[in-house]
Structure 1
């Protein structure tokens, strides 16, 4: 019975993995050259039994609808508040084009199924704890996509925090050179890379579509959790409303950002001795004790034995 359950679990896990890869992969591009197809039609004719509409790929006919069902199942199991938090997490992560909400929901459903099957596979010899193990593994697979999206968002926000002072320096230099704020943002976007440049590019697109600058900057601050970026957006908006020269505001913001970055670096440096304490205690010191005390301990043991 245990062997049959193990084989069934392995088969189900393999099928779930294939289903996930095939359902979430982009559609295949046909590699048939147009000239070869025309040559075949000239030889065999365009009519005949094979002239009907081509059949859809197996992934489009079976796997994608099945993945959609898993996504709908995951959406029904997910509370509305968690869906809202998922949308916010995707926004903080930059809304990756390959990870829309529907695809994340599909992965949650597949993770639930795969985790439950994995729990059944490894918990087959635990007797009464089988259901608990399967439920725990299913829950872990269900919440794994949330953790991945959250970590992606955290890394992106950290990158914004790290590059924001340099971006503001470039923006300040461009404005002091005589460019307007919009032109300076476009110049920074053309010469910078990373998530902060992407946010400026989105601000430019929104302003080109007719959105006021203040609204575009407020929307940018809402898409991040970086306090410095929110303060920068608020300062620029207030400068525009009060008629304050934007160059002075940018210069002060850039100086403050550099100061905060230096303070964060000093704080991180002060934490290094505490972080290195545990590796020293549990890794380095035991080896040193063995090297230093070991020969003496062996000698004492030999003397006592004799």
Structure 2
């Protein structure tokens, strides 16, 4: 066999291997696990802000977007940091700029789909608005799911801190133990509190920052109990044990109420979806029968009034079936 061909094959093989290695190293330096952990920590600090009234730093503002120009535009939007905090509370890795981009793309896709189907201008606007709300729906769903996980983990965290205190550990060390032993998402929040304390943030400010990041009322009561105990004294282990028991009893009561109200919630879902399902079926089976809603002016007014009344009915049913404890 030709020696030049063998050398060429070996060099080509080495070039391919080195190219793959270079691509992997480049991807790992930007999207690897270490970079993701660092980005989550920075986003958490950006969303939480400070417990005091100090202004946010430049680093925290840049986290709204990777582009300084887009960041300056987003900072002009009122309450933009509220959206940043909600994104962090949902556990999503989206930035504010990416969320806005997804919203605009969904609205554009809905408008293009309405144009392809030949829908009139009012229907095009309605479809574009509904599609634009899809990222918000995903955000709220992920946030509610994460909040539910945090509520379920909080009694275990309080018991773990209580046992650590009875064993002779300090409170900051107990927070570090919770961050290491408790799974995410609550374990990551306590780990972040422990890191803030190690980096020089006071315990009160670190706990208040966690309250701003985690929208759980029970956690707020937990932090208030700790802060009061630090000022007035008392047996913190016993206090945390009582808080853990109260949270568990409240969750049991909430579970019983959800079981008893399951029929009402299912009825609300059926009543809310039934008009839209019927319109969709009639559009497929008898398009001429439904076309009057989009062509006749009186039909369009009737459709608009019906959609408005259905929207109020859905909100009213949602208010009835949502029971807070």
Same fold (TM over 0.5): yes
Indicate the residue corresponding to 1:156 in structure 2.
146
- 1:86 paired with 2:83, answer yes
Deviations 1:142-185 (A, max 9, x none): 22212211211111111111221122112211211211111112
CA-CA distance at 1:239 after TM superposition: 1.0
Deviations 1:92-142 (A, max 9, x none): 213x3x3111111111221222121111112x1x4xx2x222222222232
Please, what is the CA RMSD of the aligned residues?
3.5
Among 95, 98, 103, the residue aligned to 1:100 = 95
Q: What is the number of residues matched between the two proteins?
A: 213
- 1:119 paired with 2:109, answer no
- 1:237 paired with 2:227, answer yes
CA contact (8 A) 1:171 1:185 kept: yes
- 1:255 paired with 2:245, answer yes
CA contact (8 A) 2:161 2:237 kept: no
CA distance in 2, matches of 1:37, 1:266: 61
CA contact (8 A) 1:120 1:133 kept: no
Indicate the residue corresponding to 2:51 in structure 1.
none
Larger Rg: 1
Residues 110-259 of structure 1 aligned to structure 2 (within 5 Å): 110-122=105-117, 124=118, 126=119, 129=120, 131-259=121-249
- What TM-score comes out, normalization by structure 1 length? 0.60
- 1:109 paired with 2:88, answer no
Mark the runs of 5 or more structure 1 residues left unpaired by the alignment. 1-31, 40-67, 280-306
CA distance in 2, matches of 1:112, 1:221: 34
CA distance in 2, matches of 1:216, 1:135: 45
CA distance in 1, matches of 2:112, 2:235: 63
CA contact (8 A) 1:165 1:258 kept: yes
Secondary structure, counterpart of 1:80 in structure 2 = coil
CA contact (8 A) 1:203 1:217 kept: yes
CA-CA distance at 1:218 after TM superposition: 0.9
CA distance in 1, matches of 2:76, 2:144: 23
